[in-house]
Amino acid sequence: MNKGDLFCGLSLLAFAVYLIQQSRSLEYYYEHGPGPGFFPFWTALALLFFSVVLVGVTLIRREKIAARAPQARDSLRALGTWVGLVVMIGLVETVGFFVSFAVYTLLLVVVLDRQRWASATAVAVGSAVGFYLVFVYAFGLRLPAGPWGF
């Protein structure tokens, strides 16, 4: 049995029930035709149906998962990068995009890829400067700036 599919199917099932409940609070039909709750209700109902099918098929098949599952350490690399991205986004409004992005890149390259500090600094500063030249200087885009003006 694929535990991932089972967990996913059950989560979607719960989500579909929540959507049905939410859509029922919207008007289903009004004087001119289907209301704002019509489409969400039927979409949620279909989602509920297919979630049940997914759970059912997963339970019936009971197939073994292919030995593709990555090690926990590899998953941590991916999730660590994502958490780092979230922290970077959180810092953007305080220190600006370029500083926040450069620090994030530096740490990613040093911690996750075990590159030397010199290479990591070159990648971090090079990409931040490159982005500035292309997007701010050439395209005239305005990106979130820090107290130092960039």
Partner 1 sequence: MDTLANIFLGFSLALTPVNIFWCTVGVVLGTAVGVLPGLGTPATIAILLPLTFQMNPTTGIIMMAGIYYGSKYGGSTTSILLNLPGETASVVTCLDGYQMARQGRAGAALGISAIASFVAGTVGVLGLMLVAPPLARFALRFGPPEYFALMTLGLTMVTFLAGKSMVKGLIAALFGLWLAMIGTDRFTADSRFVFGRLELLDGIDFIVASIGIFAVGEVLVNLEEKTKIDLFTVPKGLRNLMPTWQDIKDCRFAFLNGSVVGFFIGIIPGAGASIASFLSYGLEKAVSKHPEKFGNGAIEGVAAPEGANNSETGGALVPLFTLGIPGSNSTAMLLAALTLWGLRPGPLLIQEHPETFWGLVASMYVGNIMLLILNLPLVPMWAQILRIPYYVLYPMILGISFIGVYAVNNSMFDVWLLAIFGLLGYLMKKLDFPAAPLILAIVLGGRAEETFRQSLIMSGGAMSIFWTRPLTVLMLSLALALLAAPFFRSVRQWQKPRASDDE
**Cα–Cα distance, 55 to 49 (Å, whole number):** 10
63 Cβ contact partners less than 8 Å away, ≥ 6 residues apart: 1, 2
> Which of 83, 119, 120, 82 shows the shortest CA–CA distance to 102?
120
User: What residues between 30 and 59 interact with partner 1 by CB under 8 A?
Assistant: 30, 32-36, 38-40, 43-44, 46-47, 50-51, 53-54, 57
Closest separation in Å from C-beta 139 to partner 1: 6
Question: Distance between terminal CA atoms of the chain?
Answer: 52
Our finding on whether 137 is near partner 1 (CB under 8 A) is no
Per CB under 8 A, does 117 bind partner 1? no
Distances (CA, A) of 43 to 17, 118, 119, 147: 11, 53, 50, 47
* Chain contacts with partner 1 (rule: CB under 8 A): 4-5, 8, 12, 19, 22, 26-27, 30, 32-36, 38-40, 43-44, 46-47, 50-51, 53-54, 57, 70, 74-75, 77-79, 81-82, 85-86, 89, 92-93, 97, 101, 104-105, 108-109, 112-113, 115, 123-124, 127-128, 131, 135, 139-144
